[in-house]
């Protein structure tokens, strides 16, 4: 089922959680709502679910206005960050809950419930835990049970609020791959909220970046990563090095240094330029190109080496460069050594 | 003895101290009640406690206490729910008011309730017009016991509700549960153990209540005479053994009932998933 939200506004007292948000979620896609805490992503999810009422705007399911439909009738599966499993019920009873709450004439027989619950538990690969209680499960298992419970009522939409937020890093990685595979099997329109850019880029078909109650950018993971629309998106999607300067004819002037770049902006404009750590190169201080900096720390484990540097000026700007290990060794860097930084690629944004 | 492995030392010392204290403060007086009763022979004992007037008082005391505790359990749960879930002007004031029956001297409560419910009182006049007599009837006793018992339920249920995240209700609603189903299958199992505890406390308090009841009860033999009053009556006639005999039976019944409630509570807690 496709979902559309139109001009959603939501305030909590003086705080604007959602500021005129309009989005479309096509049928069968897995979409990530990504942003820092307080950006309104969870509120948007709750408005779509019907757990929260927006102050204005519409929520449309398959083109039909569902704004006034109670959460009970929206047929959305909602998965909470802290699972919200019923503690007094076994895993089986938790998953069966939605089926047992149906009005008598729609309710399947107990045998049919049993069959469907066991099928779902098999789907989440936890059928052997049917008789346990939630407190006897690990966090990852609980979240999978919560998902099975949400799927039991055959929701038309699956909404997940920071589904992996409370799990440790390793389980989180496993579980998000598993979620991706599950989605490929089920093709239920799904929206999940996360503040982890890696998670969003890895799992989702499309990423919606939110900031201060507004949508900053919508696109495929490749699009938003390689063509960020705003400085916020660039900054949020990974570590960045930031330069402030002014556009000149042949590049961007940062302090003394001129960084070559084909800026699509008129000369004289104040700009912010970004480069990812792997887009910067380190050259000796005697070179006439690049921004001066001083090596602070060298972290040489893994395939590439990471070098942290302090820029000039007060307060000193910090830079981070990722180099192949051999290149790092060849440069013979030591902490405290003055060097220069040359970006291979820059993203330039006009100062707002 | 098991090897000591806990974080805090002094298991034997604290246990010994606890038992000593419990004996001194609780068990010794209770034992004295039994001891005094032994001054009577079995026949005399049975005569005292099977006196129809005494039996009527037992029925009234325990019946009214159970009914009052049950009413408190229902409305205390409701009150706690409102106090935890909603914010409204004057909420803190209402919250403070809950404790008033704890703090008020029971005689004051009794006098206030009597003034209110007496046939010439504010409410009593109205109710009398409707044909309902409250003061000087068992109904009046019930009113007084409900009044003094309510904080026990509210104060035991409140913290449990506070830790109960709205998430659970939202999850249930998103799975299609109606309001009643959410209450019946999600909220109630969670708060039942605490409610039963509150019920037990309110009941225990109500059984022993004296001050607030004697004013509103009217103390008519066979109608509105409670057991504590009979005990006082015996004492006033210097019949200490008779008084303790009545008290002994009361103690045994109370203790048995509390044990049953305790077992019920443990069962509810297991159902609530607390011991998993």
**SS3 label, residue B192:** helix
- Mean per-residue pLDDT for A134-146? 91
At B133-179, the pLDDT tens digits run: 887 888 889 999 999 999 999 999 999 999 888 899 999 999 999 99
φ, ψ for residue A305 (rounded to 5)?
Answer: -100, 145
Give the minimum alpha-carbon distance from A253 to chain B in angstroms, rounded to a whole number: 53
CB contact under 8 A, B171 and A80: yes
At B5-62, the pLDDT tens digits run: 677 778 888 899 999 999 999 899 888 888 888 888 888 888 888 888 889 989 999 9
Give me the residue from B171, B177, B178 closest to A84, CB to CB: B171
Which residues pair with residue A24 across a beta bridge?
A: A4
Say what the alpha-carbon torsion angle A335, A340, A342, A346 is, to the nearest 10 degrees: 80
Percent of chain B with pLDDT over 70: 96
- Per the CB < 8 A criterion, the answer to whether A298 and A305 are in contact is yes
- Per the CB < 8 A criterion, the answer to whether A22 and A80 are in contact is no
Alpha-carbon distance of A327 to A61, in angstroms, equals 54
A82 CB neighbours in chain B (<8 A) are 165, 167
Alpha-carbon distance of A92 to A99, in angstroms, equals 11
pLDDT for B275 equals 42
pLDDT for A312 equals 79
Give the minimum alpha-carbon distance from B180 to chain A in angstroms, rounded to a whole number: 10
Tracing tokens 């439909």 back to the chain, one arrives at: A69
Give me the residue from B173, B175, B273 closest to A149, CB to CB: B175
How far, in whole angstroms, is CA B173 from its chain's centroid? 35
Alpha-carbon distance of B177 to A72, in angstroms, equals 7
At B102-137, the pLDDT tens digits run: 888 888 888 888 888 888 888 888 888 888 888 788
Q: Which of A114, A104, A133 is nearest to B178 (CA)?
A: A104
Q: Is the pLDDT of residue B78 over 90?
A: yes
- Per the CB < 8 A criterion, the answer to whether A59 and A65 are in contact is yes
Kindly indicate the confidence band of residue B81, based on its pLDDT and cuts at 50, 70 and 90. very high
Give me the residue from B168, B189, B190 closest to A84, CB to CB: B168
Tell me the angle at which helices B52-85 and B91-98 cross, rounded to the nearest 10 degrees.
160
pTM over 0.90: no
Length of chain B: 276
Give the minimum alpha-carbon distance from A77 to chain B in angstroms, rounded to a whole number: 7
Burial-class residue A302 by CB neighbours within 10 Å (0-12, 13-18, 19+): exposed
pLDDT for A113 equals 93
Q: Which of B234, B241, B153, B163 is nearest to B197 (CA)?
A: B153
Q: How many CB atoms lie within 10 A of CB B139?
A: 16
Q: Give which of A43, A88, A146 to mutate to test B binding, by max B Cβ within 10 Å.
A: A88
CB contact under 8 A, B167 and A97: no
Q: Do the strands A189-194 and A157-161 form a parallel or antiparallel pair, or are they unpaired?
A: parallel
Give me the residue from B176, B271, B276 closest to A98, CB to CB: B176
End-to-end C-alpha distance for chain A, whole angstroms: 39
B172 CB neighbours in chain A (<8 A) are 86, 97, 101
- Mean per-residue pLDDT for A89-93? 93
The ipTM assigned to this model is 0.82
Tell me the angle at which helices B188-208 and B240-271 cross, rounded to the nearest 10 degrees.
180
B175 CB neighbours in chain A (<8 A) are 97-98, 101, 149-150, 152-153
At A37-88, the pLDDT tens digits run: 889 999 999 999 999 999 999 999 988 888 888 888 888 999 998 999 998 8
A contact set with B (CB within 8 A): 49-51, 70-72, 74-78, 80, 82, 84, 86-89, 97-98, 101-102, 133-136, 149-150, 152-153
Q: Give which of B160, B165, B170, B171 to mutate to test A binding, by max A Cβ within 10 Å.
A: B171
pLDDT for B4 equals 57
Of all helices (H) and strands (E), which one includes residue B58?
helix B52-85
């Amino acid at each position: 089922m496709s979902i559309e939200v139109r001009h959603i506004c939501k305030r909590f007292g003086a705080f604007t959680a959602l500021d005129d948000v309009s989005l479309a979620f096509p049928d069968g896609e897995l979409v990530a709502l990504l942003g820092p805490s307080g950006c309104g992503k969870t509120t948007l999810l709750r408005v779509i679910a019907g757990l929260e009422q927006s102050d204005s705007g519409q929520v449309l399911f398959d083109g039909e206005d569902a704004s006034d439909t109670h959460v009970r009738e929206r047929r959305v599966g909602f998965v909470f960050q802290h699972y919200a499993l019923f503690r007094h019920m076994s895993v089986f009873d938790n998953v069966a809950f939605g089926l047992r709450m149906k009005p008598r004439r729609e309710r399947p027989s107990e045998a049919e419930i049993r069959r469907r619950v066991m099928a779902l538990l098999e789907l989440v690969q936890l059928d052997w835990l049917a008789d346990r209680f939630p407190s006897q499960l690990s966090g990852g298992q609980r979240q999978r049970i919560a998902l099975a419970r949400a799927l039991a009522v055959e929701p038309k939409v699956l909404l997940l609020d920071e589904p992996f937020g409370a799990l440790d890093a390793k389980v989180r990685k496993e579980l998000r791959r598993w979620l991706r595979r599950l989605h490929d099997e089920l093709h239920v329109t799904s929206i999940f909220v996360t503040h982890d850019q890696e998670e969003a880029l890895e799992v989702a078909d499309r990423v919606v970046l939110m900031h201060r109650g507004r949508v900053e950018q919508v696109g495929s993971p490749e699009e938003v990563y390689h063509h960020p629309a705003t400085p916020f998106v660039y900054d949020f999607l990974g570590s960045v090095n930031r330069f402030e300067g002014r556009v000149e004819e042949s590049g961007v002037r940062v302090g003394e240094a001129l960084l070559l770049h084909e800026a699509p902006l008129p000369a004289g404009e104040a700009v912010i330029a970004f480069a990812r750590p792997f887009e910067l190169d380190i050259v000796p201080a005697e070179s006439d190109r690049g921004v001066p900096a001083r090596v602070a720390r060298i972290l040489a484990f893994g395939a590439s080496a990471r070098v942290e540097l302090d820029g000039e000026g007060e307060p000193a700007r910090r830079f981070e460069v990722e180099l192949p290990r051999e290149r790092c060794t060849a440069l013979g860097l030591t902490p405290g050594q003055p060097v220069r930084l040359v970006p291979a690629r820059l993203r330039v944004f006009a100062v707002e | 003895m098991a090897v000591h492995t806990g974080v805090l030392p002094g298991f034997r010392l604290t246990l010994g101290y606890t038992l000593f204290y419990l004996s001194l403060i609780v068990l010794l007086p209770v034992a004295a009640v039994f001891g005094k009763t032994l001054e009577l022979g079995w026949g005399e004992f049975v005569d005292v406690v099977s006196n129809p007037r005494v039996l009527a008082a037992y029925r009234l005391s325990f019946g009214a206490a159970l009914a009052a505790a049950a009413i408190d359990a229902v409305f205390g749960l409701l009150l706690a729910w409102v106090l935890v879930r909603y914010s409204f002007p004057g909420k803190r004031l209402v919250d403070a008011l809950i404790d008033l029956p704890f703090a008020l001297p029971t005689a004051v409560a009794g006098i206030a309730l009597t003034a209110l419910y007496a046939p010439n009182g504010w409410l009593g006049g109205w109710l009398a017009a409707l044909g309902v007599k409250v003061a000087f009837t068992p109904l009046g006793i019930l009113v007084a016991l409900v009044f003094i018992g309510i904080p026990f339920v509210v104060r035991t249920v409140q913290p449990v509700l506070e830790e109960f995240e709205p998430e659970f209700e939202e999850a249930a609603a998103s799975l299609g549960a109606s309001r009643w189903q959410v209450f019946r299958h999600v909220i109630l199992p969670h708060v039942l153990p605490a409610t039963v505890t509150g019920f037990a406390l309110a009941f225990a308090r109500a059984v022993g209540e004296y001050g607030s009841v004697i004013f509103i009860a009217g103390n008519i033999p066979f109608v509105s005479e409670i057991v504590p009053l009979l005990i006082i009556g015996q004492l006033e006639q210097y019949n200490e053994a008779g008084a303790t005999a009545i008290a002994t039976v009361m103690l045994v019944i109370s203790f048995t009932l509390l044990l049953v409630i305790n077992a019920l509570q443990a069962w509810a807690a297991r159902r609530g998933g607390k011991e998993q």
